[in-house]
Structure 1
Amino acid sequence: MNKTFKIYAVIFIIIMVILALLEVNKKEVTDWRKNFDPNEKSPFGLFVFNKESKDLFKNQLKKIAETPYEYYNENKKQSHNILIIEKEIDRESWRSILNEVSKGSNAMLIAGRIPKEISDSIGFYASQISFEDQNVLKLTDKKYQNDFINLDKFPSGRGFSYVKPGVEILGKTVEKNNTDQANFIKVKLGKGNIFVHSEPLFLTNYYLLKPGNIKYAQDVFSYLNDKETVWFVEAADAKASSRFFMRFILSKPALKYAWWVFLGGMILFIFFNAKRKQRIVPVIEPLKNTSVEFVKSIGNLYLQEGDFHDMMAKKAQYFLNKVRMDLLIDTQNLDNAFAKKLQLKTGKNIEVITEAIALIRKAQDPYASVMKEDLTRMNTILDEIIR
């Protein structure tokens, strides 16, 4: 196991320990935003309603991610129900809805904020009528008197401060310190009806999961005829059909943490390996000059054999060759002229040169008797003359 791998392992273990500690000590934070998202499980999402809607509308519910204007331009439908929950409606779409209602369809608009042009065309005025922390939603029909919802978390307090004659009030908001205010109305238009509810909180997860509250929602939708219902949702609400490949992983906390740990590990790996790695250059020892060792080996061999005469002959031959090559002196005749020239070019005493010539001649004489001392003396003198 190399040092780099150990560093990665230690860093990874530290990260995992930190994440584990954070996970253990993490406090669940509740998202109280009023998102009204059909796929959101937070308190004010519509996940529960979305799941129960098939039974609530007897499998006649159809979710549409287009605007009403686009949908009705492409589809010619018979009498049906129209459902809109906290969705922005443009002017052309609203005209398309009114056109369908006049033909005999029923539309139910459940929204806290209703554009003025819509409220004016129907005949009511919606506003913030209360700032109480708690109120009760009830229906005016006597057969629904026992079905109500107590809004104890962030009620909008919106209702209808004015409705024109002919508008039927179907529900109201009841508070301790205020008079009852209408929050659910019905308007006759052509062959159909428009229902408007100003408090969409009763459809959220937080309230539908409370025992008995589902009955109020059933009562509200009972005003729609038993026919196909088209629910216009935001395009972003069609998450169930989303093809984003990470949707499942990111929707599960454990898988999401594992994914982020994996990405963090990959970033660390890339960071520490960003520099180009190069193989270690081996240290190559320079080639040794074995000539000296070879000469020593040969010399030792001659000494062991005791052939001093042959060694003197080779030494003399080497010396004369060096004189010819370096000093440019003819070595054919080892006479006085040769001695004089060698003395002039080397600067050595004539006695040393004369002794050297004598030893060379002895070495060249195959019949001369040579001792070890002669070899030693010759080697010393010749090395002294030419260094």
Structure 2
Amino acid sequence: MNSGLRRYLIIGSILIVGYLVAQYFKPKPTNWAPTYLSEDKIPFGTYILRQRINDIFPNTKIKTVQSAVYNNLREQPKGQSNYFIIASNLSVDKLDYREMVKYMQSGNNIFIAAFQIKGGLLDKLKLQIASDFNFQNKRKYPINFVNPSLKRDLDYYFDKGISEQYFLNVDTARAIVLGKKEDKFSNFIQYKFGKGSLFILPNPQLLTNYSLLKEDGLDYASKVLSYLPKAETLIWNEHFTRPDAQDHSVLRVFFKYDELRWAYYIALFSLVAFILFEIKRRQRIIPVIERLKNTSVEFAEVVGRVYYQQRNNRDIAEKKVSYLLEYIRNKYRLKTLDLNQEFKESLIKISGANADIIDELLEEITYLKAGQMVKDQQLIRLNKLIEQFYKQDQ
């Protein structure tokens, strides 16, 4: 082996080892996958709920199962029990539904939290789940309870779109509405079957780690689960969330045996080394092109001097107010033609700005629209209020 090839091998090995070390120690990105698994500590896992559920149900035995609903309910434990399901999607066929009804009529309760419920359950109950889906998930939807003893004066607000699901066409003759979204759409309902009940929540992410780490989320989840009566056993069904344990990878045979696994690694490393040596080629020198100069600062200074020399405070103030109202229309979909009391209350509720800042800002805008002369101090005050609003609304 000549010295040139040896040098390239050493350099290539160092680069590969350095890359592997950097990949091993780099911070892992947040996993936003909704697994709803009791051992997952990611945002949409249920580790906190599983660890703290006995705070809500003391002296209750938690039994984890992974089989189908029909099999669980056919072999239910003795005594009164609650059946708990949390998942993205679940399917309830006719056999499952029949066993569920028998289970509830004997004095037990079922709690379901899922985005989609397939099968005959929703058809039997004449329910339909709808959603105000938003790709950016920037809007916070207010939700609250119907029961005056549980209803909070200030609605619950959650980000990431985790409270956007609700029910359509709820038959109030059969269903008991326990919670609402935006005070008009039902988002938590109860059906009575004999001595037991069925509770359905279309927003399972309200019970995940991401929600329970916040004070509002913890309070809301504890109130939701408080509807389940005390029971000797709580059956936690993971049939719809537990992934298949069988490995379906095409390389599973290689990784099953140490000899084949190392042969695979050596072959892969040899292929990478071969490619690195073969891609070597002579290349002409790339000319250095100077980066274009950024003149944005100079442009802003020139424009600022022009406005300062004209001393047209009203024009500057009107432009800043116009940009502010455009920002509010685009972000919150609020009408800004009439800045009345209803507009102020809506802006305070859905924005992150302080109520005092919004109140003072609207007073200044009203003064400006009245056609009064804008002095330097008034322009400075208006600018400070607008900047404070932007900063608090981030």
Query: Which category describes the TM-score, using the shorter chain as reference length?
Result: 0.5 to 0.7
Correspondence list, 1:96-245, <5 A: 96-115=99-118, 117-122=120-125, 124-131=126-133, 133-146=139-152, 149-155=156-162, 157-164=164-171, 165-174=173-182, 180-227=184-231, 228-234=233-239, 237=242
> Hey, what does 1:35 align to over in structure 2?
35
Secondary structure of the structure 1 residue equivalent to 2:218: helix
> Hey, what does 2:370 align to over in structure 1?
none
C-alpha contact (below 8 Å) 1:64/1:232 kept by paired residues? yes
Return the offset for 1:222: 0.8
1:287-309, Cα deviation, whole Å (9 max, x unpaired): xxxxxxxxxxxxxxxxxxxxxxx
> Hey, what does 1:318 align to over in structure 2?
none
- C-alpha separation between the residues in 2 aligned to 1:264 and 1:13? 21
Identity, % of aligned positions: 24
Distance 1:197 1:268, change over 3 A: closer
Q: What residue identity is the alignment partner of 2:176?
A: E
Return the offset for 1:127: 2.7
Secondary structure of the structure 1 residue equivalent to 2:49: helix
> Hey, what does 2:90 align to over in structure 1?
88
Return the offset for 1:54: 3.7
- C-alpha separation between the residues in 1 aligned to 2:263 and 2:15? 15
C-alpha contact (below 8 Å) 1:187/1:195 kept by paired residues? yes
- C-alpha separation between the residues in 2 aligned to 1:268 and 1:144? 61
Return the offset for 1:5: 10
Secondary structure of the structure 2 residue equivalent to 1:215: helix
Correspondence list, 1:321-360, <5 A: none
Q: What residue identity is the alignment partner of 1:61?
A: I
Distance 1:148 1:107, change over 3 A: farther
1:13-70, Cα deviation, whole Å (9 max, x unpaired): 321212344567x575333333333333332222322332343432422111111212
- C-alpha separation between the residues in 2 aligned to 1:263 and 1:55? 52
Distance 1:235 1:193, change over 3 A: closer
The count of corresponding residues between Structure 1 and Structure 2 is 249
Secondary structure of the structure 1 residue equivalent to 2:181: strand
- C-alpha separation between the residues in 1 aligned to 2:189 and 2:75? 30
Correspondence list, 1:13-28, <5 A: 13-22=14-23, 28=28
Distance 1:185 1:100, change over 3 A: same
Secondary structure of the structure 2 residue equivalent to 1:217: helix
Q: Which has the larger radius of gyration?
A: 1
C-alpha contact (below 8 Å) 1:149/1:202 kept by paired residues? no
C-alpha contact (below 8 Å) 2:82/2:235 kept by paired residues? yes
- C-alpha separation between the residues in 1 aligned to 2:268 and 2:201? 54
Distance 1:236 1:5, change over 3 A: farther
Distance 1:138 1:77, change over 3 A: same
Return the offset for 1:226: 0.9
> Hey, what does 2:69 align to over in structure 1?
68
C-alpha contact (below 8 Å) 2:56/2:226 kept by paired residues? no
> Hey, what does 2:52 align to over in structure 1?
52
Unaligned runs of 5+ in 1: 245-260, 273-387
Q: What residue identity is the alignment partner of 2:188?
A: F
- C-alpha separation between the residues in 1 aligned to 2:218 and 2:263? 43
1:258-278, Cα deviation, whole Å (9 max, x unpaired): xxx989865567889xxxxxx
C-alpha contact (below 8 Å) 2:143/2:157 kept by paired residues? yes
Return the offset for 1:167: 1.7
C-alpha contact (below 8 Å) 1:82/1:231 kept by paired residues? yes
> Hey, what does 1:343 align to over in structure 2?
none
1:208-246, Cα deviation, whole Å (9 max, x unpaired): 11134212111111111111111111276289xx899xx
Secondary structure of the structure 2 residue equivalent to 1:223: coil
> Hey, what does 1:379 align to over in structure 2?
none
